[in-house]
Structure 1
Amino acid sequence: MSEKINVLIKKCIKGEQKAQMDLYDLYCEAMYYVACRYLIDEEEAKDAMQEGFLKAFLKLNIYKDKVSFGAWLKKIIINQCIDVLKKKKLETVSIENQFLEIVDEDTSWEFNYEISKENIVNTINKLPEKYKLVLKLYLIEGYNHSEISEITKLPIKTSRTHLRRGKMLLRELLKEQNYEAKY
């Protein structure tokens, strides 16, 4: 962790508001973009980001520098966004007792050169909430199924199934937009 951030964190723990503003200024833009990936409404994203920062400032005394401060803060912001989605009655259905097929997660996700990351993210945003959330956490944020399960409170099997079904729907939507996957 950079010494500057370490000093700011110590000052924030002591309640120094200038240090809080400095820390906020360092991370607010990046955390806003994280929130926007989960909450399409910009005002909701701003509110979730603000609430996430408030929670982080209240929990700074338990922050351990085993992970970077940015990664720790990002997890708080994502959890805050998930809370907002849950309040909107995000419905996730446990499929513990349903038949699950084993899938190869190493499927190629290379598309033709004309497709942009922005187009993929916009297409993901058209998916049902339960798939959209898992896809973003897995494909964009890089979380594994254990971490997704911890964040969303979904069983790991459900996370895997939502990812697989979400990928299938995403692939179909991209095909409809004339983007062909290379296999």
Structure 2
Amino acid sequence: MFQADIIEQCKQNNRKAQLQLYNQYCDGMYIVAKRFLKDASDAEDVVQEAFIKAFSKLHQYQAEVTFGAWLKRIVVNKSIDLLKSKKQQLVELDEVHLKVVETPQDDKWLVEDAITLNDVKQAISNLPDKYQYVVMLYLIEGYDHQEISEILSISEVASRTQLSRGKAKLQDLLTLKQNGTRY
């Protein structure tokens, strides 16, 4: 059955089609939620809530993006909402003091060969939340600054600044790790 057919059946409350769509996307969406939420049960809850919302709002899905991308956006927003509700508030930066100059080296995300993927994940998890969310959305989830600004309710300038500062902090953490010091 084609994706569009399944979605159309889901719009008509076909439970079998909903289960099929759920089974197709649940593992991937759990991984996305787990990147934001450390607790497995919180990630599971977010995925369930995201599917409930997706199925209830499916009539709004216009197929401008893939269903997976649309659902992923819901999962990311639900994850951030949960973090906010747990008082892990994002800190808004005062835009008056922000001025970021983009340079070609800003696009380099290179680390030493000795640094493992687990080292990078650990370093990202040790970033302050305001940097961690932007770094994860940009580097791992692949969102651009306009999308990040919409998701986090910050300006594009704040997104760029937080990414730049987060990247610098991440590189510092990874340099410390390489030199034998723990984060």
Q: After TM superposition, is the score higher than 0.5?
A: yes
Q: Across the two proteins, how many residue pairs are aligned to each other?
A: 177
**In structure 1, what is the equivalent of residue 101 of structure 2?**
102
1-structure distance, mates of 2:104, 2:79: 26
Q: CA deviation at 1:93?
A: 1.8
CA contact (8 A) 1:124 1:132 kept: yes
Q: 1:86 aligns with which of 84, 90, 94?
A: 84
Aligned residue type for 1:178: Q
Helix, strand or coil at the partner of 2:126:
coil
Quick one: which amino acid aligns to residue 69 of structure 1?
A: F
SS in 1 for 2:72: helix
1:34-91 deviation per Cα after TM superposition (whole angstroms, max 9, x unaligned) = 0011111111111111111111001111111121111111111111111111112213
Match of 2:38, SS? coil
Other-structure match for 2:14: 16
- Matched position secondary structure for 2:73: helix
Q: Percent identity?
A: 42
What is the identity, as a one-letter code, of the residue corresponding to 2:95? Answer: E
Q: 1:15 to 1:131 in 2, by over 3 A?
A: same
Q: Which residue does the alignment assign to 1:161?
A: 161
What's the Cα RMSD here? 1.5
Separation in structure 1 between the aligned mates of residue 60 and residue 127 of structure 2, nearest angstrom: 36
The gaps in structure 2 that reach 5 residues or longer are none
Unmatched tracts of structure 1, length 5 or more = none
Please say if residues 37 and 79 of structure 2, whose CA atoms lie closer than 8 Å, have aligned partners that are also in contact: yes
For residue 101 of structure 1, report the CA deviation from its aligned partner. Answer: 3.8
Give the TM-score normalised by structure 1. 0.90
TM-score (norm 2): 0.90
Query: Structure 1 pair 35/99, CA: closer, same or farther in 2 (3 Å)?
Result: closer
Q: Would the aligned equivalents of 1:94 and 1:155 in 2 still touch at CA under 8 Å? A: no
Larger relative contact order (Cα-Cα within 8 Å, sequence gap ≥ 6): 1
CA distance in 2, matches of 1:144, 1:101: 16
Question: 2: CA distance between counterparts of 1:102 and 1:114?
Answer: 30
Structure 2 equivalent of residue 133 of structure 1: 133
Q: How does 1:1-183 map to 2 (within 5 A)?
A: 4-89=2-87, 90-104=89-103, 106-107=105-106, 108-178=108-178
Is the 2:50–2:74 contact (alpha carbons within 8 Å) kept by the matching residues of 1? yes
Given that residues 115 and 174 in structure 2 are in contact (C-alpha distance below 8 angstroms), is that contact kept between their aligned partners in structure 1?
no
Quick one: which amino acid aligns to residue 57 of structure 2? K
